[in-house]
Structure 1
Amino acid sequence: MPVHNRYLAYKRDTSHLVYWVTNTSNNIIRKMAAAGGEPPDLFNKSGSATISQIVSMSKLIAQHIDQVPSLIYRLFNSVIDARSAIHAVFQQMAAYNPDPEIEKSNASHRYFIDALTEAFTILGGQTWLENGSQKPEDEQDDIEEVLIANKFHALALDDVQADEIAADPEALVGEHESASAPATSSRQNQRSRGKGKKGKHGKKGRNQKHQMPKKVEPSAVPLESYKIIEAGDSGLVTEYLMAVYELLSECIDLRAYLQGIWRDVAYENLNSAIGGAVSNMAVSMIKRSASAMFVEFPGDDSFDKVMNTITRGDPDKAQGMFQLDLHSIDKGDGSIKKVRGVDVDVREQFFIHTFHHLLDFVKDYQATRSGKPTKRMLTEIDGWDPRFDLSQASNIDRIKWRRAYIINWLYDLVNVFSSVVVQRNTLKGQHHAYEKVDWSIQGPWNEHRRLFGLNEFAGFITSLAMQKPGTNIESKISVHHVFQLQCIVDAWTVSRGWSISGLKGHIIRTSPRHFRPRRDVDLFLDRENQRFGRGILQAVEMVKPLLERDSMLHGQPNRHKAHCDILEDFQFDFVNWLGESKYMYGLKTIPPSRFSNSNANGLWEYSPFLCGVGLMEGLELAYLVNMVIWDRIPEPFLLVHLHNMLVQKGYIAKPVGLFASLEEMLPTSFFVDGKPPATNFDQALTARIDQTGGRRARFERRGIRSNVARSAVDIHGLLDLSANRFFTTKSNLVLYRQAEWDVDRIPDTEVSWPSLLAMSRLSSVKQITDPLTGARTLQENDIVKRARAAGINDADLIWMASSVGQLSTKDPIPSTILESLPEGYSMGSLDAPLLKKSSPGILSGRDLLTFVKQDVLDDVCGSRPLSSLNLVWVLARFLMLFMQVEDRLKELRNPLWTEAYERPDSSLKWEKRVTLAVMALSESSQHHGQEECLRVMAAEFEKSRMGWMQHIYWDDLATSREVRDRTEKDEEPGDDVCVSM
């Protein structure tokens, strides 16, 4: 699993290093015992070792093996560098503000670094460095292979054969060995290879086997449990300080990146759903990093604890302890030179302002739990002005303005989210104790839609606010909660022209003239029906009568009842809770919006973040519900097959854009193996149906998701596409949500090709060398297999795998790669300058977001825009097209039509439309009237020529180049500079 956090990378590398050292040392000890010698008292069963034991084991290894794998040297280097970097940070902290605990930790750091450097040197590390440590072939060493190989590796000991050990390993095991025997390097240094010495158990003959422990060996210990034990409590303190520092560094870095994303939304028309998706992934990264870091520090994972640790309990005294340094990178030799340093604004960059505002809101809300601020709070936040001139304000005044915004907005958020329970108590006389209500998305009230996109966060904040006054809530607030609130606030302030830079402080620019947070939500919904064929609300109004007419034509009044019901439910929720809420019109017993003096819909109008994540969920659900409906009706499936045949047979001279695009975007939904047939068209149709449902399969119309409803916990689970028979392709937005916004959890089988996420996965695929030709290639996995199927050769796959994150705009993309892409597709950031990685094959969190951002853009409004297509409108077009064909064939009394539509249903193998399509597609048995039928169909396709662009939610689709050219301007350094804290 990739690691995007430096502390977690340090822990992983340490585990790998300790695994290799302890198991290599144990192998040597076993073989010395088997040879009749007396091995040193170093056998390790626990997987844990002190730093002095690591040194002693390294000395033993150096005496008995000739070559240490290059990968092991790199692990030593990585761990030493990580500890050295954090040591330098805390030296600066101690120099500015002496603290006994920090000084103790620094001493522990220094001892650790010196001892590990000694072990590295003992094993030949300095020679490795001098001889060129980063050889290209070394980079492809497989860590697992190197570690596992040690388990049975035959080391060159005198008169000892590997097969002797493998044949009778238990014979080498005794009962006396201690699990944590102290290192005795002085004794070890006196021993010579192959000689037995007098030990505490007496003299042993040369052929007598030294007895080794029978208890659990380190090979049975999980890899992640291997670690270096540091003396006393200082080791845990040091580890915790490292974890806290790196977590905050990650938060600061991702915050800066997301400000750039929301700047693009406000100033450059980047679709806000992209900002929402990328923000969700960043929040997920912080949540995962914190969970992994603090697993060894239970109870110490709250934001309050983290902040007290890093600031030593006093943010004001901590001011000046941290510095951001700007470095220039020489393009010639790569040398780095410090340009200048800036003190970190501790309260701003460590999110302390936002944390305190959140605490103040919660305590104020708890005071009455009425949804109204206390009088004391009103003196601070009442009359907040969204048009306040930030350019003329001082830093302090801007922070006060932001504080009032945060508290007012949180009041509206909690009042809207809690409204259903509050009204049950006040209007229906129910007695729900607010502090005991399960406000989470798994709770019973989640079935009532009140919000789009931010339900989990709103549920958490509401659960805090609804506790009784005086309840301790500080320990419940995690780092990712504060980080998410900071991102919500930043999205708003950036849209008002105010952003925060670590190097430059407050940056003020002219507000974007025409930006509205609801811009993209309004395009998606089109409440005023201003853009025919675009908005989803109008599309539902159009398709419902068509479905009802289709039901009457087939004599089945309930034929589409379930489809109409679910579309009406979504339409209702979109109207009332996306972009607007009933709250703006006033809900009985619920206090009015805190923004009523300027805009009663301020919850949405003043939150680009909420609009972005709300739109994102709306797009997901619109796609899901339509894929479910399409899977239950034959029209989309049949029309794509008919279109393909009419094009192949020349009845249509030029493909109709919409159908050609659907063939390309959803190939496996329509065709067996995803390949449109060039002959045997009827067999291709029936084979696809039989492939999933048997010979007499019918398109189910009885209901929506009855087979998954019992196990679903929310609407996303109810619409799980894995239960579909045909339309199982997931949009990127759907894919990311199912992975809980952790793209590393997405299996290779579901990563689309081409995509930049797929390309980033290639960088971690093992490269192997053909023993005959010497050519390098990638070990085959699902992504490699699909890339090869798309026409990309091994040389170009290697190029792609090794180029991730290392490209510049001058690097040409191999022609075979470009030729393998679908028409109009761009590899996006493939040819854009990305942040340079510390080591090949590993992306930082920011780098990964850069890749995923492009893939989200392609899905929402780019080159593979599944989420941009108004599928309800497309369904309406499909129904109208089929009705026009049927009306014309009925008028002509076409024999195929009469055969399919006037025979009793019970005598048909398929339903009417399926039967008509199968006969029209048939080549093996010519039906009377088939030619006439095909010409009628072709004529109706020609009349209804339509393309993808006529049915997207937006005015246009974005291009990859437009987005790349506008990202990260003022606040971010260029390729020739870097920033470190």
Structure 2
Amino acid sequence: MADHNSYLRVNTTGEIPVSAFVPLSNLIAKHINPIPSIIYRLFQSVIDARTATHALFQQIVATKPDLEIEKSNVSHRCFIDALTEAFKALGGEEWASASKSETSNPDEEGLDEVSFTNKFSTLGIDRPSDGEEGEDVVEGESNSRPMRPAKNSTAKEKKGKRRKKAKGKTPAVKEANFDGIPLESYRIIEDENGFITDYLMAVYSLVKEWIELRHYVQGLWREVSYGGLNSAMIKQTESAIFVNFPGHESYETVMKTITRGDPEKAQGSFHMALHRMGPGAEAAEKVQEVDIDIKEHFLIHAYWDLLDFILDFQKTRSGKPTKRMLSEIRDWDPNFDLQRATKEQRIKWRRAYTINWLYDLVNVFSSIVVQRNTLKGQNWVLETVDWSVNGPWNQHRRLFGSNELAGDITSFAMQKEGTDVRQKILPHHVFQIQCIVDSLAVSRGWSVNSLKGHILNPPARGFRPRRDVDLFMDRQNERVGHGYCNAVDVLTQFFEKDAMMHGNPNRHQQQSELLKDFMDDFVNWLGESKYMYGLQTIPPSRFSNTNANGLWEYSPFLCGVGLVEALELAYGMNFLVWDRIPEPMCLIHLHNMLVQKGYIRQPIGLYATLQDLFPTAFFANGKVPISDFNGAFHAVVNETGSRRATFQRRGLNRTAARTAVDIHGLLDTNANRFFKQKSLLRIYHQAEWVPERIPDEDVSPVSALGMLRIGQTKKVVDPMTGKRVLEDTALIRRARSDGMSDETMIQMASLLQDRGTNQPLPEALLALLPEGYNTSPAPENKRGKGVFGGRELLDLLKLDIINDIFGERPLSSLNYVWVTARFMLLFHQIEDELKRLRNPSWVCAYEKEAVMMREKRASLTALALTGEDEECMRVIAEAFQSPRTGFMEHIYWEDLKSAAETRIKQSDSHLLASRGNQRLTRELDEKASDASG
């Protein structure tokens, strides 16, 4: 009876032994018909992945026998066989045969019937837990020394052991409760080799991903394309892979696992092959196969350099290398001829650069605390300081761009001598270091390829890592109307004049102080730093012999990510200013009225483009008025000026001020009254550069990510029409409101996901595109319909990033501060002429009506929008066109115009069918013909 009751007890653990696979599958097949296609696909995917991994490790032991791997392979083969038998029992072979002869649509088969969640969000990979690490020890892991090639060592590594589970009573059937068992807890129980096999698969997947992404990022540097996605994909891969392997996330453990603890012995175990598929061939022909350089492609050199730097810094924590280290890195030459150097000399040159650069990075990042201790007599304990981006010191700017990495590396380096930090160094740390090093090496003509090895070319002619940062800043005011620094100086002067006109010296004080403080941070810590001029008690730059600003001058990566952060913050700061002054709203409404009434025959580029880009900011419900212009002006003001909306904004402002740890938190556009639209860079920053975390509400339907999301939306049948339509989601609703039909969205998404790199959109579909859609070719998708990962996903999202920074809709590249100064100048022109004419509207708003005089320009705008003052409208129209101003007048980059023109000329004629490109062409024509303001 006891055995019978035990048999009836319900499985509340979610664990299924391999031996139960086939019987359980037979039972399911007997009672469930049909089996959902997604189940077959999951089985097929798992079997294929495990079969590939099994084959890989069979290849390894074939060349270098290893009893442990052989034992694990036997166990793994049995597991794969059990999966295959279960697949057959469920009818998988029949399904596979049928699927080959039929064209199936995944999204019609209920892909969202099975939902998987990721527990990693609670794991905190960026901030390692303070608790004890797990008891599991992966084979090859030791706690005594860094991972180095074994020399004359006979010691054997300890075998991995599984954690023992506590025994407990199984609950009776009536006590069973499945509500608390999350789906991801359902798992298969393997033998003692199962854990190791799964971890080997995870490690292999991660290493394969970063090899691929490293090659991709090197390509980006060759294109001189700066973006923030570089390290994000590795962190995302870590998240997905290591959720089930707590305690085994470190780079050290990953490398010891895949190299069996010895990179020297592992050399020759991994290969890269090039295959070619000829016309009519049934199988691919192997053209070339080479051994992978383990140390190079597994990032071992970068790891050793990082670890050696940390250990050396810990010895004195003075910011100065030890004598032994100094003898190795002191003579680094930025102009070293890499083409004529041997492989060993190049690696030595790279190592010296890495360690010198890391010394500068940590010295700059830690300077605020070190100086408090030395100059102010404070006693901060360096090893316990919170250096993270969420820590208290983050409010003091020392760097733009790589603050998270700098905080982590500083935290490791500031520990007491001998502190073992190897388990805290994660793969994404090493990958970012590799990206930093590669960015310089590629600019010097050196890149690394899996098949070709070291590729050497002459250094890029005329390339300067700071080129684009200097264009953004324009510290010497060489390009009037473009640089950020001069724009702030000009605008604050306009603010002073406006304050005098309103008789209120404090009218713009807060905005002016914010802009000046913001600019000071840029001047001191973006592209250049106070470090280059020498900071008291901080050791001088390690690059002082060649360039004291070497932290920036020798790092294209830092310049790139620093500029990305600066563009994001500049956009947010400007919207904060715009939300507090009336001029932007007034001028857009005035321009629209004058165009609609014919006073301005051709829309003026700057104002027309701003109106197109931010319709919901300037107009109620985003609807551009064609009549009742005064009513439309008051409608948008009243829409955001209600008592409820005011209290909501105040609550958001208080929350932002209370919870913000840096300027990013304070520049929350959600707390704005009018200008709430986030920049693309802001959206990605808030999502920590993980695309899946971006909510649909923040995704533009006409972006590459929007099209990808639309393509992944489930398709259903409309019961009224019988046609296929997209399931109702926030993104789909917004796309429909923009004028996109379901048929158009389905076609566009399908083309985006399936077409090759050189396939343009068809003419018939282009005519249906909404304004601003980027018609650039999408990256080739090699993973199947709707599936993008790794470099394919980066290639897809790069379309949006380039479009935002350097494309047809460069929202993040517009110098909004200069635009604001132009707004102020335009109002001065209008006011001067109306004052000279003693125009009745001007007299009423500026001299007669006390209530109107509180906000003179808003009052003048309201009077003009009634359309009753002919003289006023003609004066304003003339001022708008004296001179006409194009959107491109105030772009940070001096070569954006020529680059955009080149792209249009080189593209097929179908590109001009996009209204977004038509507007760009109009802007370029205006810029060429109009005099500069």
Q: TM-score, normalised by structure 1?
A: 0.83
Question: Residue 56 of structure 1 aligns with which residue?
Answer: 23
Question: Residue 861 of structure 1 aligns with which residue?
Answer: 806
Question: Residue 525 of structure 1 aligns with which residue?
Answer: 473
Shift in Å, 1:812? 4.4
| Aligned residues between the structures | 851
Shift in Å, 1:339? 2.4
Contact 2:739/2:770 (<8 A) preserved: no
**Distance in structure 1 (CA, Å) of the matches to 2:448 and 2:434:** 11
- What SS does structure 2 have at the residue aligned with 1:638? helix
Shift in Å, 1:300? 1.4
Question: Residue 186 of structure 2 aligns with which residue?
Answer: 226
Question: Residue 921 of structure 1 aligns with which residue?
Answer: 865
Shift in Å, 1:589? 1.7
Letter aligned with residue 105 of structure 1: S
**Distance in structure 2 (CA, Å) of the matches to 1:629 and 1:666:** 16
**Distance in structure 2 (CA, Å) of the matches to 1:772 and 1:675:** 30
Shift in Å, 1:773? 5.8
Letter aligned with residue 103 of structure 2: P
1:249 aligns with 2:208: yes
Shift in Å, 1:98? 2.5
Identity of aligned residues (%): 55
1:262 aligns with 2:208: no
Question: Residue 143 of structure 2 aligns with which residue?
Answer: none
- What SS does structure 2 have at the residue aligned with 1:735? helix
| 1:178-220 CA distance string (max 9 Å, x none) | 9999xxxxxxxxxxxxxxxxxxxxxxxxxxxxx9933335576
**Distance in structure 2 (CA, Å) of the matches to 1:743 and 1:612:** 20
| 1:31-68 CA distance string (max 9 Å, x none) | xxxxxx99997964432211221211112233344532
Shift in Å, 1:819? 3.0
Question: Residue 955 of structure 1 aligns with which residue?
Answer: 894
- 5 Å-filtered alignment, 1:760-909, equals 760-770=708-718, 775-808=723-756, 811-815=759-763, 817-821=765-769, 825-830=773-778, 833-837=779-783, 839-903=784-848, 905=850, 907-908=851-852
> Which among 539, 542, 548 is matched to residue 496 of structure 2?
548
Contact 2:740/2:770 (<8 A) preserved: no
Residues 705 and 792 of structure 1: CA distance in aligned 2, closer, same or farther (over 3 Å): closer
Contact 1:498/1:506 (<8 A) preserved: yes
Contact 1:517/1:608 (<8 A) preserved: yes
**Distance in structure 2 (CA, Å) of the matches to 1:480 and 1:700:** 39
1:105 aligns with 2:72: yes
- What SS does structure 1 have at the residue aligned with 2:884? coil
Contact 1:791/1:816 (<8 A) preserved: no
| Higher RCO (CA 8 Å, separation ≥ 6 residues) | 1
**Distance in structure 1 (CA, Å) of the matches to 2:604 and 2:289:** 60
Shift in Å, 1:676? 1.2
Contact 1:633/1:700 (<8 A) preserved: no
Residues 463 and 147 of structure 1: CA distance in aligned 2, closer, same or farther (over 3 Å): closer
Contact 2:302/2:430 (<8 A) preserved: yes
Residues 872 and 850 of structure 1: CA distance in aligned 2, closer, same or farther (over 3 Å): same
- 5 Å-filtered alignment, 1:59-458, equals 59-133=26-100, 135-143=102-110, 146=113, 213-216=173-176, 221-231=181-191, 233-265=192-224, 270=225, 275-279=226-230, 283-330=231-278, 335-458=283-406
| 1:522-547 CA distance string (max 9 Å, x none) | 00001111111010001111111110
Question: Residue 24 of structure 1 aligns with which residue?
Answer: none
**Distance in structure 2 (CA, Å) of the matches to 1:595 and 1:719:** 35
**Distance in structure 2 (CA, Å) of the matches to 1:121 and 1:725:** 61
**Distance in structure 1 (CA, Å) of the matches to 2:36 and 2:654:** 57
Shift in Å, 1:371? 1.2
| 1:597-643 CA distance string (max 9 Å, x none) | 11111110100000001111111111111000000000001000000
**Distance in structure 2 (CA, Å) of the matches to 1:61 and 1:246:** 32
| 1:347-373 CA distance string (max 9 Å, x none) | 111111110101111111111111111
Letter aligned with residue 948 of structure 1: F
- What SS does structure 1 have at the residue aligned with 2:673? coil
Residues 503 and 835 of structure 1: CA distance in aligned 2, closer, same or farther (over 3 Å): farther
Shift in Å, 1:130? 2.4
- 5 Å-filtered alignment, 1:611-690, equals 611-690=559-638
Letter aligned with residue 324 of structure 1: M
| 1:286-338 CA distance string (max 9 Å, x none) | 22322332232222111111111111110001111111122224565774333
**Distance in structure 2 (CA, Å) of the matches to 1:698 and 1:912:** 22
**Distance in structure 1 (CA, Å) of the matches to 2:833 and 2:282:** 73
Question: Residue 12 of structure 1 aligns with which residue?
Answer: none
Shift in Å, 1:895? 1.3
**Distance in structure 2 (CA, Å) of the matches to 1:144 and 1:583:** 55
**Distance in structure 1 (CA, Å) of the matches to 2:745 and 2:641:** 38
Letter aligned with residue 834 of structure 1: E
Shift in Å, 1:345? 0.8
Residues 136 and 333 of structure 1: CA distance in aligned 2, closer, same or farther (over 3 Å): farther
Contact 1:632/1:700 (<8 A) preserved: no
Question: Residue 756 of structure 1 aligns with which residue?
Answer: 704
RMSD between superposed Cα atoms in Å: 2.9
Contact 1:796/1:816 (<8 A) preserved: no
| 1:237-265 CA distance string (max 9 Å, x none) | 11111111111111111111111011100
**Distance in structure 2 (CA, Å) of the matches to 1:347 and 1:532:** 49
Shift in Å, 1:883? 1.4
Question: Residue 444 of structure 2 aligns with which residue?
Answer: 496
**Distance in structure 1 (CA, Å) of the matches to 2:434 and 2:306:** 10
| 1:905-939 CA distance string (max 9 Å, x none) | 4x34972221111111125xx4xxx1111111111
Contact 2:305/2:355 (<8 A) preserved: yes
1:536 aligns with 2:480: no
| 1:640-683 CA distance string (max 9 Å, x none) | 00000000001111111100010011111101121210001111
**Distance in structure 1 (CA, Å) of the matches to 2:564 and 2:105:** 43
- What SS does structure 1 have at the residue aligned with 2:657? coil
| 1:780-812 CA distance string (max 9 Å, x none) | 323323333444333332222333342125644
**Distance in structure 1 (CA, Å) of the matches to 2:285 and 2:860:** 75
Contact 1:499/1:506 (<8 A) preserved: yes
**Distance in structure 2 (CA, Å) of the matches to 1:558 and 1:78:** 66
Contact 1:828/1:961 (<8 A) preserved: no
Letter aligned with residue 931 of structure 1: E
**Distance in structure 1 (CA, Å) of the matches to 2:214 and 2:904:** 19
Contact 1:632/1:701 (<8 A) preserved: no
| 1:804-862 CA distance string (max 9 Å, x none) | 342125644244542344667533233xx51411x321211211111111101111121
Residues 519 and 812 of structure 1: CA distance in aligned 2, closer, same or farther (over 3 Å): closer
Question: Residue 942 of structure 1 aligns with which residue?
Answer: 881
**Distance in structure 1 (CA, Å) of the matches to 2:420 and 2:52:** 36
**Distance in structure 2 (CA, Å) of the matches to 1:695 and 1:120:** 62
- What SS does structure 1 have at the residue aligned with 2:716? strand
> Which among 504, 515, 521 is matched to residue 573 of structure 1?
521
Shift in Å, 1:451? 0.7
- What SS does structure 2 have at the residue aligned with 1:709? helix
**Distance in structure 2 (CA, Å) of the matches to 1:860 and 1:810:** 23
Contact 1:70/1:138 (<8 A) preserved: no
